[in-house]
Amino acid sequence: MNGFPWLTVAGAVPLLGAIVIALIPGLPADSAEADRQARNTMAKVLALGFSLVTLVVVIIIAVKFQVGGPNYQFTEIYSWIPAFGVHYALGVDGIALVLIAMSVVLMPVVILASWNDAESGRHSVKTYFSLMLVLETMMIGVFAATDVFLFYVFFEAMLIPMYFMIGSYGGGRRQYAAVKFLLYSLFGGLLMLVAVIALYVYSARSPVTGHHGTFLFSELVHVALSPTVQKWLFLGFFIAFAIKAPLWPFHTWLPDAAAAAPPGAAVLLVGVLDKVGTFGMLRYCFELFPSGAKYFTPLVITLSVIGILYGAIVAIGQQSMKRLIAYTSVSHFGFIALGIFAMTSQGVSGATFYMVNHGFATGALFILAGFLIARRGTDRIADFGGVQSVAPVLAGLFLISGLAMLSLPGLSTFVSEFLVLIGTFSRYKVAAVFATAGIILAAIYVLWMYQRAMNGPVRDEVKGMPDLRPRELLAVAPLVVLLIGAGVYPKPVLDIINPAVRVTMTQVHTTDPKPAHPASNTLTAVQKGTSP
Amino acid sequence: MPLQSWLLDAMEGPTPVSALIHAATMVTAGVYLLVRSNPILAVTPDARLAVVLVGTVTLLFGGIIACAKDDIKKSLAGSTMSQIGYMTLGAGLGPAGYVFAIALLLAHGFFKAGLFLGAGSVMHGMNDEVNMRRYGGLGRVMPITSVTFGLAYLAIIGIPPFSGFFTKDPIIGADFSEHGAAGKVLGTLALIGAGITAFYMTRMMFMTWYGKRRWEPEAHPHESPAVMTWPMIVLAIGSVGAGAFLILNDRLQKFLAPVVGVPPTSEGVFSTAGLVALAFALVGVALAWVMYGRVPVPAVAPRGRPLTVAARKDLYGDAFNESVLMRPGQWLTRLSVFFDNRGVDGLVNTLAAAVGGTSGRVRKLQTGFVRSYALSMFFGAAVLVALLLVVRL
């Protein structure tokens, strides 16, 4: 509560930007094309500027964040609706911080990459970029909220800008996809709303809160709920998050939405919005309902493993580049949920790091696929071929992003996937073995897509394809640099994540399993200098 | 075996790459890792037996393929597979074999890289021709390449005192003393493998360096420049001396003792197994001379017996992978995509359609005609009155 409200500022900057852009006066219909272009460029530059300022603010937050300090930092609490105990309460732990950082890094990248995405003339360009900035505010808010009601508000409000970005600026069956996305998410959100209200009711009955109902996360974690109540409320939250994430079998909205959305919106959808689901599982499902979470763990682990294999196999069979990438995300979210519900410190740290890396890797791949599709006019993989000899830089970056998808050692995704698998193996061996097969399937879908699209004889339609323009290179390069950088030296990020993971584990009353094998016990004894 | 089929296709790469990666370093990493895993192998005799079995099958498999190939690089690739089979066999024998597995790995690095560079030198002189049936009589025109190739040849087939003799034959010997009766059978197979090695290598020698010139008309073979011959000379020195250097005085054994332990006492350098292996090798050489040295080599391959035909097709490794793994995988993928579109998503869409359809039908009741509303109100009231009467009674 004390000090400068950094988080509010971080959230307010993009909102301000959105308002400024929306207020750019429109031109009369008969004005010159050049004038209209100038206005549009102004909107784009403003959007880029505001997103960069937000990035700077978040970098300041990250630098000021004390590793090893209190779990929640930069906290702000103001009473919002006293009648219902609703607070405007913000704060970040290590997990939320890295996710916010990922979101604000992706935002300028996406703005640069989708510079011309809204130019179809159907809808106004400035609205598109204004919506993006509104979405950024929501993304920061949803990760920073420490009041369950406030979280719910951001959680639902995020749908609105995304709905318009898909429905108005998308391609293909955009209306169908947008409505499907909205209905699916609203359905989950309403289940969560029921659980949120129930939380309030139970908190009002609890002596911990002095019989005052509250939505404050810091107080709710101390409210003792009976195991039965925990199971039901867990389900309410979990289904909402499972749809958002998306876990198998709640995933079918994602390929439709990602394929219909403009590439930039697809990056935000898969890279950030979906992470709210897995973030929510970790923060809310675990810490509020520990025994409920434990009860449902076998089910979630099973769904995750099915999702990993199923998503990958279906991805292999896709004809469309965008749908293929969307299905790989189904597989990757299986990995994230698996790591979270393995409930080991390695698994949870790995899953959190995975969320960040997946945002960058999938983001880069989606953006590059978007460039390819914009050049060729179709997203059928079979319509490409030989791109690598015409546009080597584009193909090379596509390959690196693809290799990140299959978790090649040296890239940051490898670190996180490896942590998830180790963390899972120490508790659920069979699940870990099946999940490992997902890596092989990942190699098939990535390399086969690359082979079909980039190698082979150059098709006539591909011949005139220009290589990356400087603006496009500037958009993708930071992501590739981050993937390689964090792959070689992941420690700074893991240092921020790990303490928060420890706190979460304590809240769930879980410790890492002891090595069971007698040989490893002997080894430990030897290391300690005592004879077995 | 059974994970071998990629190697022969990888020979499409440039020859120096083949020499470095597919002969000397990358493929032998598996052997290195096996030896590194010695604590695991030490506690699981069954796993060791499995490793020995895989090694034996692989060394025969690779050798048979090498016998049938006319492409010099593919024949060498089959040979590599076979030699790695020997190394794997050595690693599976436990402490008795680790040292020799590593020794063969190092010696193999010299002689196989030498053979590959030799093959590359020949191809350089022959317009990238790889078919050995188009070679013949090259010894005169490429003296340095032929001598270095020949030294590596003597090493790989295990003629004393070249390096293969010191490194490969002890593995065969150790095979006989491990794993009881199974060891005797596997040891015999390894001996046959030594004969096969001698056969395909001698075949390669005759087809390439001796006999009539079966060159394509436009081929003008010549010795390669110094930048190509010097590496071959260096490797030839290794082919000759590496084995003796590593094995005599137990140099490598002492060096590796902290990692893999000390092997049980061996029979010394000139063991019975070594001499028998030498005999098998000489039989292989003789057989190859009968078939390829004594009679001229036809420029076009004869049809051959069933085993030859199978070996030319890599003993159906690719066909096996395609029918057992790729086709079912393809079907599984198609089925999953269908299931996802029609099953999972179909369920969602059916649900949505059901809601939409119901609301559409219910909407039709709201006709906007007062008379139809009045009629339904009349019926409703009648039903209510009837119900009340029934309950009262």
Q: What is the pLDDT of residues B183-208, one digit of tens each?
A: 778 888 888 888 888 888 888 888 88
Cα–Cα distance for residue pair A254/A261, rounded to 1 Å? 10
**Cα separation of A396 and A476, whole Å?**
12
Cα separations in angstroms, B123 against A284, B131, B156, B226: 67, 9, 21, 16
β-pairing, A73-81 vs A86-92, is antiparallel
* Interface with B, mutate which of A313, A444, A520 (most B CBs under 10 A): A313
How crowded is residue A19: how many other Cβ atoms within 10 Å of its Cβ? 12
pLDDT at res. B107: 85
What residues of B are in contact with residue A307 (Cβ under 8 Å)? none
**CB distance from B279 to chain A under 8 Å?**
no
The rounded distance, in Å, linking the Cα atoms of B310 and A98 is: 58
Contact residues, chain B, for A246 at CB < 8 Å:
none
pLDDT attached to residue A192: 92
Quote the Cα angle for B332-B336-B339, to 5°.
140
Given a cut of 70, is residue A349 above it in pLDDT?
A: yes
Distance from CA of B69 to the nearest CA of A (A): 28
| Contact by Cβ (8 Å): A405, A362 | yes
B348 touches chain A (CB under 8 A): yes
The residues, any chain, with a CB within 8 Å of residue B21's CB and separated by 6 or more, are B13, B27
Point out the least confidently predicted range of A25-34, A226-235, A520-529, B321-330.
A520-529
Cβ neighbourhood burial of A295 (10 Å; 0-12, 13-18, 19+): middle
Judged on CB neighbours under 10 Å (0-12, 13-18, 19+), A83 is: exposed
Max avg pLDDT among A111-115, B211-215, B230-234:
A111-115
Please report, rounded to a whole number, the percentage of residues in chain A having pLDDT higher than 70: 95
The answer to whether B169 and B274 are in contact (CB under 8 A) is yes
pLDDT surpasses 90 at B134: no
pLDDT number for residue B179: 61
Q: Say whether residue B333 is in contact with chain A using an 8 A CB cutoff.
A: yes
SS3 letters for A17-76? HHHHHHHCCCCCCCCCHHHHHHHHHHHHHHHHHHHHHHHHHHHHHHHHCCCCCCCCEEEE
**pLDDT surpasses 80 at A506:** yes
On the question of pLDDT at A34 being above 50, the answer is yes
Report yes or no: A348 and A427 within 8 Å, Cβ to Cβ.
no
Examine the pLDDT at A1 and tell me if it is beyond 50: no
Rounded to the nearest 5 degrees, what angle is found at the Cα of A94, between the Cα atoms of A92 and A97? 55
pLDDT(A201) > 80? yes
DSSP string, A359-373: HHHHHHHHHHHHHHH
Determine which of A251, A314, A331, A440 to mutate to test the interface with B (most B C-beta atoms within 10 Å).
Answer: A314
**pTM given for the model:** 0.81
SS3 call for A223: coil
Report d(CA A269, CA A288) in Å as an integer. 26
Give the residue with greater pLDDT, A140 vs B14.
Answer: A140
* Chain A contact set for B12 (CB, 8 A): none
Tell me how far apart the alpha carbons of residues A325 and B31 are, in angstroms, rounded to a whole number. 37
Query: Is it the case that residue B130 has pLDDT exceeding 80?
Result: no
A281–chain B nearest CA distance, Å = 23
A94 burial via Cβ count (<10 Å: 0-12, 13-18, 19+): buried
- Residues with Cβ within 8 Å of A511's Cβ and at least 6 positions away in sequence, in order, are A505
Q: Across A133-142, A467-476, B119-128, B257-266, which has the greatest mean pLDDT?
A: A133-142
Cβ–Cβ < 8 Å for B135, B122: yes
Residue B336 contacts A, CB cutoff 8 Å: yes
User: Helices in B248-303 by DSSP H: which ranges?
Assistant: 251-260, 272-288
Q: How far apart are the first and last CA of chain A?
A: 53
pLDDT the model gives residue B269: 56
Q: Which residues between 34 and 53 in chain B have a beta carbon less than 8 angstroms from any beta carbon of chain A?
A: 43
pLDDT computed for residue B10 by the predictor: 66
**Chain-chain contact of B333 with A317 (C-beta, under 8 angstroms):** yes
* pLDDT of A97 strictly over 90: yes
Q: How many CA atoms lie within 13 A of B73 on its CB side?
A: 22
Task: Name the closest residue on chain B to residue A319, using Cα atoms.
Answer: B337
Q: Which ipTM score applies to this complex?
A: 0.70
pLDDT at B131: 77
Describe the crossing of helices A174-205 and A159-169 by its angle, rounded to 10 degrees.
170
How far, in Å, CA of B114 to CA of B112, rounded?
A: 5
Q: Which of A334, A339, A406, A329 is nearest to A363 (CA)?
A: A329
B345 touches chain A (CB under 8 A): yes
Task: Please indicate if any CB of chain A lies within 8 Å of the CB of B370.
Answer: no
pLDDT of residue A334: 93
Q: Which H or E run includes A478?
A: helix A470-488
Cβ contacts (< 8 Å) between A440 and chain B: which residues? none
- β-sheet bridge partners, residue B47: none
CB A434 within 8 A of CB A361: no
pLDDT tier at B22, thresholds 50, 70, 90: low
How distant is the Cα of B43 from the closest Cα of chain A, in angstroms? 10
CB A280 within 8 A of CB A241: yes
- Tell me the C-alpha distance between A519 and B178, whole Å: 26
Minimum distance, in Å, between the CA of residue B197 and any CA atom of chain A: 35
- Separation CA A326–CA A349 (nearest Å): 24
Q: Where are the alpha helices (DSSP H) in chain B?
A: 6-9, 15-17, 29-36, 38-43, 45-68, 72-92, 95-125, 143-157, 163-177, 180-209, 226-247, 251-260, 272-288, 306-312, 317-321, 327-338, 345-365, 370-392
Rounded mean pLDDT, B291-305: 70
Work out the pLDDT band at A121, boundaries 50, 70, 90.
low
Asked whether the predicted pLDDT for residue B124 surpasses 50, the reply is yes
Cβ-nearest to B337 among A251, A253, A314: A314
Per the model's pLDDT, the better-predicted residue between A437 and B143 turns out to be A437
pLDDT for A530: 38
> Can you tell me the distance from the alpha carbon of A362 to that of A475, in angstroms, rounded to the nearest whole number?
14
